[in-house]
A = this chain, B = another copy of it.
């Protein structure tokens, strides 16, 4: 809208040659608009390796990723006005709340505002959204956003219990419900409703492992076969081990700026931001084959970006369990209801397909460091736009617009962002 208004002013100025005082007034107003109606650009992205990081704190993992993002942006931390940083389980696992000043210190930013946010597995998607708004508000010109999480010092069964803190503790978790169990119910509901099979979901896993095998930072860098997925141990019928993402330590960071980068690479813009919620209890959701929080967030992001799903070229979505890649794609409007599983079987979402999904390997293969996942998706979109993805680069089509969707809890929260490249 800012650019439109500016162009109109420019056109009319040339046509009408108005009074000099008018020019003065208009110049001043356009100047104000330029400051305030800013676009938000990605100056740089950074990721740690995903996997196990012994003896590192969540704050350190985020700051390591931040240093990569500064290097990528050709900037230094001192350029940053403000930081929005996510962490989910540090209070339980590291006995540490108030990580914000710790992050400030590690980044050499002591004095400046640093904020911790937490919205379960959607945390750094929400951090990105707040950073986007900080720049839109005119209150900051350069913002660092991202997340860090260290979980793997805790044994797996204890981790399942801690992860369940992100679902309702009054009724659901205390009844023995776990995340794989919840998504097993969604999987079964989808199978019953649309006639999909366990093998159809296995295609998501095979595809994402194929992509992740080509991603240097991925945790599970190896392909798996359909048969291996189907033969893997049952976790919660019909969800098997190879339908599920691993536990992961890692960090991710994105440097946002109000200035369009001019470093010779394609300039990537955060074109739209959205965030949504659904019932905190899984039992409250009206339809277990539908991610309403993602739908709400997507509607908001598309409206903000002034486009719809048909304009998108590829996506990173929240495949913590294979069913959720399918449900995200439908809630995002990329595939119709009940169609995404079959489109996946048809190869539409392969790296070479008509709509590539999770070129990074997704949570399934790349890994899922809880609070770092949202901005890790953004890093992949940016690197794909710039053609920096090596073996996993999407080459079958031009890449001009993409979407990232992360989901937290039992589908209770989501952040969705649309990115475009000039």
Contacts and interface: CB of A to CB of B under 8 A. Distances in A.
A33 B119 CA distance: 33
Interface string A134-176: 1011110000000000000000000000000111111001000
Contacts of A25: 8-9, 12, 26
B296 A111 contact: yes
Interface string A91-112: 1101111101110110001111
Interface string A275-300: 11111110010000000110011001
Given A12-B21, A111-B292, A95 B169 contact: yes
Interface stretch (A263-271, A309-317, A392-400, A408-416): A408-416
A240 interface: no
Q: How many copies does the complex hold?
A: 2
Contacts of A234: none
Given A36-B36, A101-B280, A126 B119 contact: no
Contacts of A30: 29
A191 interface: no
A422 interface: no
A88 interface: yes
Contacts of A136: 137-139
Interface residues of A, number: 84
Given A275-B113, A280-B104, A92 B94 contact: no
Contact of A169 (B94, B101, B130): B94
A413 B100 contact: yes
Nearest to A164: B95
A14 interface: no
A117 interface: yes
A133 B132 CA distance: 11
Nearest to A5: B32
A28 interface: yes
A383 interface: no
A26 B139 CA distance: 25
A41 B96 CA distance: 35
Contacts of A91: 89, 91-92, 165
Interface in A63-102: 82, 88-89, 91-92, 94-98, 100-102
Interface centre among A30, A37, A101 (most CB of B within 10 A): A101
Contacts of A274: 113
A102 B273 CA distance: 22
A57 to B, nearest CB: 8
A139 to B, nearest CB: 5
Top 9 A-B pairs ranked by shortest CB distance? Answer: A113-B275, A101-B412, A98-B120, A136-B137, A137-B137, A98-B166, A104-B277, A101-B280, A133-B137
27 contacts: A1-B32, A9-B25, A18-B18, A18-B19, A18-B22, A22-B22, A26-B29, A32-B37, A36-B36, A97-B118, A98-B119, A98-B165, A98-B280, A98-B413, A101-B278, A101-B280, A104-B280, A105-B279, A105-B284, A111-B292, A112-B277, A112-B296, A113-B274, A113-B277, A114-B277, A117-B117, A133-B134
Given A5-B28, A97-B118, A130-B130, 14 more contacts: A12-B21, A16-B19, A18-B18, A18-B22, A32-B37, A97-B120, A98-B165, A98-B280, A105-B281, A110-B277, A111-B292, A117-B118, A133-B134, A133-B139
